[in-house]
Structure formats: C-alpha cells, structure tokens
Chain A
Amino acid sequence: MDLKQLMPFSSKERAVDREQRFDHPLASMQEEMNRLLERFFGDLGADPFVGRAAGFSPRMNIAESETEFLITVEVPGLDEKYVDITVTKDVVTIKGDKRPEQTTGYLRSERAFGTFTRTVPLPREVDQEKAEARIRQGVLTVILPKKAPATGEKRKISIRTD
C-alpha cells in the first residue's frame, strides 16, 4: 500500500481546499507557488506539518530498577548548554540542539545534526525534585527516582476468631 494513503491529511485534499480560497489577489499567487513547490517536493513523502524542523531523533534506552528509571540517550557531540530537560510527575521531555562544526566543505557527511525532542511517558510517578541528569562521553543519562507508593494504601487485616 502507498504510504501516503495512511496519512491523515493527504496533500491532495489540501490542494482542493486551497483552490476554494480566493480572498486576496496575492493569496492565489501564493497558493499557486505552494502548489508548484508541493508538486516538486511532495513526493518526498513527508507531510509539511509533521517534522518541519530539520533535525534528528536520537536513540534512547530505558533501564528500570525497583527504585528508579534510568534513561540514556546517545548524543555524541551535543553540548550540555543546548540541552533542556523537563519532568512532570509522569512525563519527561528531552530537547536538544546538536550543532555542526561548520556547514561547508564536507567530503562525507553521515552524522546527524539539528534539533530534537523526545517525550517519554513514564509508567509510574517519579519524584521530580530528585531527578538528575548528566552527559558523559556523548551519552546523556537521566535518573528519575520513582515515587514511593502512598503508605497504608494496602493493609492486611487479620481475622479474629472468637
């Protein structure tokens, strides 16, 4: 099956939508340009509203122990200045910007650069206050201690026999 059929909004539908708008003389010209550009680039398969920012998606591993989650992300060459980590009670978001040394003069270019965002929903609530992060040898590690379940939640009641 063509991958495009699986996309919620196909380019074709949007093109029809545009043809019905003639509110401004310049607008139609802009639409025409957009249509031309889309015809040119549209076959690359990406929806313009998805993944607009040039970037990459770094790979992550998550390890879990009784007491904490340990998230590791491979981010070689990422400067800690350009990393932003936020934690809510059960979601952690890691954003970063990996900047290249220079942009021209490449004989070979395989490494990924740009911005990224990874959002991880956590299966358990974590203690935001005690969360820690570090970057070592190009590996970002985020430690999220699990919140202890409320005490007294479950109690065994013994039955007396008279």
Chain B
Amino acid sequence: MSTTTQEVMKKEAAGQEGVERTRPRKVYAPAVDILEKKEEIVVTADMPGVDERSVDITLEKNVLTINGRVEPEVPQGYRLALSEYGIGDYQRAFTISEEIDRDRIEASVRNGVLRLVLPKAAAAKTRKIAVSAA
C-alpha cells in the first residue's frame, strides 16, 4: 500500500517561561520514543551531534530534563552550500510518575541517541498476593 516517506524536521523547543537562555544558539526538542517494558520504561531521544560529555540530565521534583550541547560543525574555510537542518542544542523535559525508582535511573549515549532507563519501583510491579484460608 502507499506509505509516504516521513520527513524528519527538527522542532524548536518551547522555551521555559521566565527562563532566558544565555547561549546564543537555537534549541531543538529531540524526537523521542518511549517504550514500556516489564521492569522499566525506556526513553530514547534522537540527538545527533551529542556525546556522553555534552549531555546533562537533571531530575527535580517530578521533572526530568535532558539538555544536550552541540558544537557548530561547519569548519573554518567552508561555506554552507545547502542547509536542511539547523545546528543547535537540545532540550526536553518529562514528568516522571511515582512508580519510577528515581535512584536507579540510568542514561547512556550511543551514535547520537540518548537512552534513559527508568526502572519501575518495586511497588509498581505487579505482585501476586497470596490468599490464605481463614
């Protein structure tokens, strides 16, 4: 059947209200997949140009924020002949529910993809409750 080719367009991140940025760069909201597995929730974000040293993750109250810094990639002596994507930092925030075990959140970056593993707290996993005869 007819399937269209998906256009990949970077979306600029909505700035946080009352927060002014100090870096004169564009900020994009990375495209994100959220996968639910039995024991954990996995968040993967497309952040081309970012490595493990240039990404910051903060968890404050219920809000998990990811920040990625990207350095300009057009070297000296070159001029841009075609520009389909903008180069800029990444930022996106997620609210985390109570069922996530905050202390065991893990993050890794590979091939420009940030992967966050959010383990479910023991209480949120399904438990079998034994029924005893009265």
- A55-112 with Cβ < 8 A to chain B: 55-66, 69-70, 72, 74-79, 100-102, 105-112
Binds A, one of B15-23, B77-85, B99-107, B123-131: B77-85
Cβ B73 vs Cβ A72 within 8 A: yes
Instruction: Give the secondary structure class of B's interface.
Output: loop
Binds B, one of A23-31, A45-53, A125-133: A45-53
Interface flags, B81-92, vs A, CB<8A=1, else 0: 111110100000
Chain A contact-residue range equals 35 or more
- B56-112 with Cβ < 8 A to chain A: 73-75, 77-85, 87, 111-112
Interface residues contributed by chain B, number (CB under 8 Å): 42
Cα distance A53–B4 when bound, in Å?
8
Cβ B8 vs Cβ A59 within 8 A: yes
Binds B, one of A13-21, A135-143, A147-155: A135-143
Instruction: Assess whether A44 is interfacial by the CB under 8 Å rule.
Output: yes
Instruction: Assess whether B5 is interfacial by the CB under 8 Å rule.
Output: yes
Cβ A51 vs Cβ B82 within 8 A: no
Beyond A111-B33, A139-B112, is A59–B85 a contact (Cβ under 8 Å)?
yes
Instruction: Assess whether B32 is interfacial by the CB under 8 Å rule.
Output: yes
Cα distance A56–B48 when bound, in Å?
16
Among A61, A105, A106, contact of B83 (Cβ-Cβ < 8 Å): A61
Cα distance A52–B85 when bound, in Å?
25
Q: Which B residue's beta carbon lies closest to that of A77?
A: B113
Instruction: Assess whether A41 is interfacial by the CB under 8 Å rule.
Output: yes
Instruction: Assess whether A159 is interfacial by the CB under 8 Å rule.
Output: no
Q: Which residues of A contact B (CB under 8 A)?
A: 37, 41-42, 44-48, 51-66, 69-70, 72, 74-79, 100-102, 105-112, 114, 116, 135, 137-139
